[in-house]
Amino acid sequence: MDLSLTETERLFRKEVRDLIATAFPPPERYDGSPDHEQRWHQALLARGWAANKWPTAFGGPGWTATQHFIWEREVTAAGLPPQVGGMGMGMLAPILFAYGSPEQQDRFLPDILHNRTRWCQGYSEPGAGSDLASLRTRAVLDGGDYVISGEKVWTSGAHRADWMFCLTRTSDEARRQDGITFLLVDMRSPGVTIFPIISLDGRHAFNRVTFDGVRTPVGNRVGREGEGWTVAKGLLTHERTGQAFVSLSTDLLGRIRDAAATLPGTDGGALLDDPGFGRRLALADIELQALAATELRTLSEVSAGGAPGAQSSVLKLKGTDIVQRMTEFFVECAGPYAAPWFPEVAGPAPDDIGPHWARREVTRYFEGRAASIAGGSDEIQRNIIAKQVLRL
């Protein structure tokens, strides 16, 4: 989407570009390593932009929706993450702003900002994924502590996390959503056991986490007892708003065009000029521009203090669809060279065979499939849209 920027916004874009160039002077590019992540985070902290989505009351820079848009666009094009700090920064912090006590905010937010603690999300359980309200991990009040017993599954990054924010059942109300409580749990507590789940590609991202009489103080409850469902729903809308992938899809679109311009099409010209390929690419581009406008509208509502609501399901559903289609274009471009490569499993890649982008983009194609499930599956987003937006 082409925004006509004001002079101030153009200056802001220059500031962003300068920051990127100072942190990673060309031709150096961010490679996702811990060293690079640390360097980028330090640059963000020094500039006051580490928590760029946080409200000003909590140290955020108070950007407008357009500034957020520019930021995402510029850093994604440079291959950098828009923020460092994982689930703590992007998912838990907004909940602490809304539901956390002043003590919880003082205790947890500085460590999140400085990336000193890693958080994981303990929602899903065996038998409670889409139907999250059927969760059974039990928390019983005993003196000043909740005592937790049960099991969580698909917990991304639990093996590296210091803390978990999790949903527990504290009572069996007629309406299942009413008996759920949101707790923060120290992952080093006695009784927490982490079992790795190795995925088909050989990587260790997921875990199963069991709780056997794990104690967490009442002071680690966010919101009131039984209010966990409301807290969790707020968190999920923030998670889904972050899954529109507009900047990533925009970046991929540009690179697909570059790649297709150098590849042969069916009629002797370039693939980019092939009418069938070009028509499908143009359609994806139009849908991406519509998504970008929707995202910008949502961001401006959030900047004005609103919550994303059911709009976040539209962003997640459509954003996932478009980014997956972008990766499919790359697979089409790569042709016989379309094979994934996971360096953490297979070791450093040998010299490139085929186009230099093929290995990375085809890997992204496979990774991108999970986006239809993580944060609530496509079908669940459609159900939410049907009920809350279309009122069906």
The least CB distance from residue 46 to ligand FAD, in Å, is 30
Pairing label, strands 163-169, 119-122:
parallel
Return the number of the residue (66 or 181) whose C-beta is nearest ligand FAD. Answer: 181
Q: Give the interface with ligand FAD as residue ranges (CB under 6 A).
A: 120-124, 129-130, 154-156, 370, 373-374, 376-377, 379-380, 383
Return the number of the residue (286 or 386) whose C-beta is nearest ligand FAD. Answer: 386
The least CB distance from residue 138 to ligand FAD, in Å, is 17
77 CB-contact burial (10 Å; exposed 0-12 / middle 13-18 / buried 19+): middle
Structure-token match 């990774």, residue found? 367
The least CB distance from residue 368 to ligand FAD, in Å, is 10
The least CB distance from residue 374 to ligand FAD, in Å, is 3
The least CB distance from residue 160 to ligand FAD, in Å, is 12
Catalytic site includes residue 7? no
Return the number of the residue (95 or 281) whose C-beta is nearest ligand FAD. Answer: 95
Structure-token match 């849209």, residue found? 385
User: Which of 125, 151, 225, 239 is an active site residue?
Assistant: 239
The least CB distance from residue 192 to ligand FAD, in Å, is 15
Return the number of the residue (73 or 318) whose C-beta is nearest ligand FAD. Answer: 318
Residue nearest to ligand FAD (CB): 129
The residues assigned a catalytic role are 239
